[in-house]
Amino acid sequence: MAHELDFSNGRANMAYVGRTPWHGLGQELDANATLDTWIEQAGFNWEVKKGAIQYEVRDEENHPVCVNTVPNRWALYRSDTGKPLSVMSSNYNITQPRDVMEFFRNLIDIGGFKMETAGMLRGGATYWALARIDDSFDVGGGDEVRPYVQVATSCDGTLSNVAQFTTVRTVCQNTLNAALQDTAGQIRIPHSTKFNAERVKADLGLIGGTWERFKKDAVELSKRTVSKAEATKYFLDVLYPDQEEVDLDAHRPMLELVTSIYLNGIGQNTRTAQGTAWGLVNAITRFTDHERKATSADTRLQSAWFGAGARMKRNALTAALALV
């Protein structure tokens, strides 16, 4: 299988604790590993550098005449390998790989956070870190959900600086980004603005009411039973939000897939998920995180955390809460 994980230094630049990640690659670390160890083992110990972009002017006989520099543009490249990452404007603010990891240092030292995974995609153009908050919540009957904070960014313009609350349902390892109807659990900072870790922490509120509200919503969703007709309409609304009239025949294979996940997927046999709005949400998150077609597991992850899949999961939660 083709991977988008970064292998620039001859190994998968990914580190984790606990369960082996989706691709089975990367460095497994001890739960008490220092942040400096994480920086080294996850491959975050290099910098994004800027280089001038030049081009050669030639005459009609194809002889070199002069070399000019492109104004207001920089080539961004890796300090360790010199390989190019992107071409960006002069007002593009770089968030260094180490900055993403350093976001968590005092949260680990005094806040009880534990690093869980960190890694790089697409040659180092996208990098993220995920830390678990020292808490958990039982929706009911052993259906445990754990809270996390994720920080991610890119150096090619494909992703803003993002700090967000996310949850993981332990029975199936489904993730629910933002976990809210609004953006209170997510901070997005464009690269036109310098990334300020301390301000982001303050704006994010380090979860606080976000986590408490999620727990309340999860319980309400688990108590709301849904009919077969409601489940079908819900899946069509979430999967095809821009279509006023959905061609059932054309989309039947997709509908049957998510319905199968809803009825028989991993974690769907719990009393909190069977025939409930909570089960609907987790069917979509399972589909997005693990079952959705993609060119590789890595592109699926990129979508599920940062792209179309993340938007689908937020829409899934909003649509489910509308049923309560």
Looking at the structure, tell me whether residues 54 and 111 fall in a common domain: no
- Clarify whether residues 145 and 22 are in a common domain: yes
In this structure, the answer to whether residues 25 and 149 fall within a common structural domain is yes
pLDDT tens digits along 235-275:
999 999 877 777 777 788 899 999 999 999 988 999 999 99
The whole-model pTM stands at 0.80
Nearest to 5 by CA among 222, 299, 310, 246: 299
Interatomic CA distance for residues 217 and 233, integer angstroms: 21
Of 205, 227, 246, the domain-final residue = 205
In this structure, is residue 296 part of a structural domain? yes
Each residue's pLDDT tens digit, 274-291: 999 999 999 999 998 888
Same domain, 163 and 111: yes
Structural domain boundaries, residue 252: 216-321
90 exposure class (CB count in 10 Å sphere: 0-12, 13-18, 19+): exposed
- pLDDT, residue 174, reads 67
Dihedral (Cα; 239, 244, 245, 250), 10-degree rounding: -40
Q: Model confidence over 192-221: pLDDT tens digits?
A: 989 888 888 777 665 556 788 888 999 999
Question: Does residue 233 sit within a domain?
Answer: yes
Same domain, yes or no: 198 and 103: yes
Our count of domains for the chain comes to 3
CB 290 within 8 A of CB 307: no
Q: Clarify whether residues 39 and 157 are in a common domain.
A: yes
Closest of 68, 94, 315, 104 to residue 204, by C-alpha: 104
Residue 322, judged by CB atoms within 10 A of its CB (0-12, 13-18, 19+), counts as exposed
Considering only 112-121, 149-158, 179-188, 193-202, which range has the smallest mean pLDDT?
179-188
Residue 245 lies in a domain: yes
Residue 243 inside a domain? The answer is yes
- Is-contact 272 222, C-beta < 8 A? yes
The pLDDT of residue 295 is 66
Same domain, yes or no: 244 and 279: yes
Query: Of 76-85, 122-131, 181-190, 269-278, where does mean pLDDT reach its minimum?
Result: 181-190
Co-location of 101 and 60 in the same domain:
no
pLDDT at 165 over 70: yes
| More confident: 295 or 201 | 201
In terms of domains, do 174 and 248 share one? no
Any domain includes 164: yes
Is residue 199 domain-shared with residue 259, that is, in the same domain? no
Provide φ and ψ at 269, rounded to 5°. -90, 0
Q: What is the pLDDT of residue 247?
A: 76
Q: For residue 237, with 0-12 CB atoms within 10 Å meaning exposed, 13-18 middle and 19 or more buried, which class applies? A: middle
Same domain, 146 and 196: yes
Q: 77-87, pLDDT tens digit by residue?
A: 999 999 999 99
Helix (H) or strand (E) holding 303: helix 297-306
Taking only the tens place, the pLDDT of each residue in 92-105 is: 999 999 999 999 99
Percent of the chain with pLDDT over 70: 90
Mean pLDDT of the chain: 87
Res 310: pLDDT: 82
Say whether both 104 and 39 belong to one domain: yes
